[in-house]
Amino acid sequence: MAMTVHFHEEDLPADALAPGIVAVDTETMGLITRRDRLCVVQIADGRGDEHCVRFSPGSDYAAPNLKAVLADPARLKLFHFARFDLAAIQHYLGVMASPVFCTKIASKLVRTYTDRHGLKDLVRELAGKDLSKQQQSSDWGGPVLSEAQLDYAASDVRYLHTCHAALVERLAREGRSALAQAAFDFLPHRALLDLAGWAETDIFSHE
């Protein structure tokens, strides 16, 4: 399938995506959500193209078209480690992206024969593709994003539909679909706990 990476400033064009499930990821200035601003949201409908939406320093994050897709209750959103992305999207865009399917959580529930649940390992096994992580720690807040950065960002959503389909089958096979769904349903609340100050606290523990 021919793939094109589309670059947009500040919002997704109207009708850029086909109806249905979308894969979503974010790039930020770092891992502390309130400190490290949201720079890029990448999104794909699984039909061959990916869209990267860049937000400039001082952005008001208005993005009505992107927000409408992320907040659409009829669209399932696929993430890998959704907890982080949901918090960033909520904090900067002001919407909670749900319903959600997290491929990292699903992997931990069904790929119990390994402790390697990163996206690179998951895509290699389930999609037969090798991802380059060379741009993972690059400066996403610069005035210009390189072609290498854009391709890296796009690759993080490129195979999530394929992984999702495989993981849904495995969850059903192992009798863990309901357990996974319960975890996915809790993810927005986990993201809100992170933003409220409980990022490093397990509120379910005895301690």
pLDDT of residue 135: 63
| 2 has a pLDDT exceeding 60 | no
Secondary structure of residue 138 in the 3-state scheme = coil
Percent of the chain surpassing pLDDT 90: 93
Secondary structure of residue 80 in the 3-state scheme = coil
| 204 has a pLDDT exceeding 70 | yes
For 24-50, how does the pLDDT look when each residue is reduced to its tens digit (9 = 90+)? 999 999 999 999 999 999 999 999 899
Confidence bin at 132 (pLDDT 50/70/90): confident
Which residues are 182's β-sheet partners?
Answer: none
* Mean pLDDT, residues 194-205 taken together: 94
* Mean pLDDT, residues 190-201 taken together: 96
According to CATH, the topology of domain 4-198 is Nucleotidyltransferase; domain 5 (3.30.420)
* Mean pLDDT, residues 59-78 taken together: 98
* Mean pLDDT, residues 52-70 taken together: 97
Mean pLDDT of the chain: 95
Look up residue 12 and give its DSSP letter: P
Amino acid at residue number 128: G
Residues 75-102 as b/e (b if ≥16 CB within 10 A, e otherwise) read bbbbbbebbbbbbbbbbbbebbbbebbb
Higher pLDDT, residue 205 or 1: 205
| 1 has a pLDDT exceeding 60 | no
Packed helices 160-173 and 147-158: angle between N→C axes, nearest 10 degrees? 20
Instruction: Report yes or no: 42 and 153 within 8 Å, Cβ to Cβ.
Output: yes
What is the spatial distance between Cα 57 and Cα 168, in angstroms, rounded to a whole number?
A: 38
Burial of 164 (0-12, 13-18, 19+ CB in 10 A): buried
Q: How far apart are the first and last CA of the chain?
A: 51
By residue count, the chain amounts to 207
This prediction has a pTM of: 0.95
Q: Any alpha helices (H) in the chain, and if so which ranges?
A: 64-71, 82-93, 103-110, 119-126, 147-158, 160-173, 177-193
* Mean pLDDT, residues 50-54 taken together: 97
Instruction: Kindly state the tokens that stand for 118.
Output: 């990163």
For 74-95, how does the pLDDT look when each residue is reduced to its tens digit (9 = 90+)? 999 999 999 999 999 999 999 9
Confidence bin at 165 (pLDDT 50/70/90): very high
For 12-31, how does the pLDDT look when each residue is reduced to its tens digit (9 = 90+)? 999 999 999 999 999 999 99
